[in-house]
Amino acid sequence: MMILRPIQQDDYQDLLIMAEESGHGFTSLPLNEELLQNKIARSVQSFAKPTEKAGDEGYLFVLEDSETGEIAGTCGIEAAVGLDDAFYHYHLSKVIHSSRTLGVYKAVDILTLCNDYTGATELCTLFLKEKYRQKYNGKLLSKSRMLFINQHRQRFADTVIAEMRGVSDENGDSPFWQWLEEHFFSMDFPTADYLTGIGQKVFIAELMPKYPIYVNLLSKEAQQVVGEVHSNTRPAIELLKSEGFTFNGYVDIFDAGPTVEAKVDNIRTIANSSLREVVIADNPGEQAVLVANQGLQDYRAVVIECEYNDGEQHITLSQATADALKVKAGERVSVAAL
């Protein structure tokens, strides 16, 4: 059984392996041992911290194979971005150049540096090992965070965002960054990406162009990747779109990958979820259902196949599933059909 749970200090080696496997462009898993240790420590502290509002908390989860004990993947939530360090995006919009006298009218795309998502909750750090990219594992990693946010609303903002990895090649080179590097920086994309991942963002404010960038002045290669995702990220963005997340013109300042957003109440997994009382018994079936307990530090989530009907007040779990979720008969769990 695959079980999602909060990360612990002894998961460090597994997190390091995933940081190595994730490659360039995955800034939330920097290949830096001290920073990875700090991410785990911060997550443990965040789960233990009493709070009634979104702050600087960062929650990190891992997906564990209960049969082997192997960590299959990880995912995270940032409660409120940009409160300590500036959170930059480019916003893609249009300006109009027109002259009635000359009969000229032209709409031009521009990229404007902004901090519009300051204070938003961010879904981040989703990585699943290649051999586990099957069946429901990706959905469990992604959607379990949504149930966690719903159950602990006071810890999160009303707007939820997710930054999608932009286009880069096998060497980690981004066509968008190559244009920026040529005109404003003397630093390759992997280096800039790594510095951002370890929190050294001052160079962004110092060197990034302050005025809007006309998209038609970019190289053809750079123009083609604005708002596009890395091939490995397509399943993730399609899942988020199915949840009601939309792209509103905000792109990453390094690789121009899209950022998508949704209001908490409009996220489909949250809107379609319910609290149900646990009944312990065998319940064979074919409906895939996401089930999560209501814990904080002991949060658990699984996907099961069972008989599932809308409108019922209870859900029947096997003893093994109840044990994995750390719940007993009569307690309530959050459920959402996949």
Record: fold of 2-90+114-269: Aminopeptidase (3.40.630)
pTM over 0.75: yes
Across all residues in the chain, what is the average pLDDT? 91
The stretch 103-110 carries a mean pLDDT of 92
Helix axes 234-242, 137-151, angle to 10 degrees: 40
Cβ neighbors of 55 (< 8 A, separation 6 or more) are 79, 80, 83
- Show which residues are catalytic: 230
218-271 pLDDT, tens digit per residue, is 999 999 999 999 888 898 899 999 999 999 999 998 889 999 999 999 999 999
At 38, list the tokens. 């700090």
Alpha carbons 128 and 4: distance in angstroms, whole number: 12
> SS3 of 264, please?
helix
**pLDDT category of residue 197 using cuts at 50, 70 and 90:** low
DSSP string computed for 80-132:
STTSSS---EEEEEEEEEEETTTTEEEEEEEEEEE-TTTT-EEEEEEEE-GGG
Cβ neighbors of 135 (< 8 A, separation 6 or more) are none
Alpha carbons 269 and 135: distance in angstroms, whole number: 18
Q: Judge whether 168 and 228 are in contact, CB under 8 Å.
A: no
- Give the residue among 249, 228, 107, 213 at the shortest CA–CA distance from 174: 228
Q: Is the pLDDT of residue 33 over 70?
A: yes
The stretch 104-125 carries a mean pLDDT of 94
The domain 272-337 having CATH identifier 2.70.50.60: the answer here is no
Q: Please name the amino acid found at residue 149.
A: I
> SS3 of 189, please?
helix
Question: What is the structure's pLDDT at 199?
Answer: 62
Alpha carbons 164 and 228: distance in angstroms, whole number: 9
How close are the terminal C-alpha atoms of the chain, in Å? Answer: 17
Residue 272, CB-side half-sphere exposure with 13 Å CA sphere: 15
Q: Is the pLDDT of residue 180 over 90?
A: no
The stretch 59-65 carries a mean pLDDT of 98
Q: Please name the amino acid found at residue 232.
A: N
At 96, list the tokens. 């109009």
Domain boundaries along the sequence of the chain: 2-90+114-269, 272-337
14-31 pLDDT, tens digit per residue, is 999 998 887 655 667 777
172 backbone φψ class: left, alpha, beta (φ>0; ψ -120 to 50): left
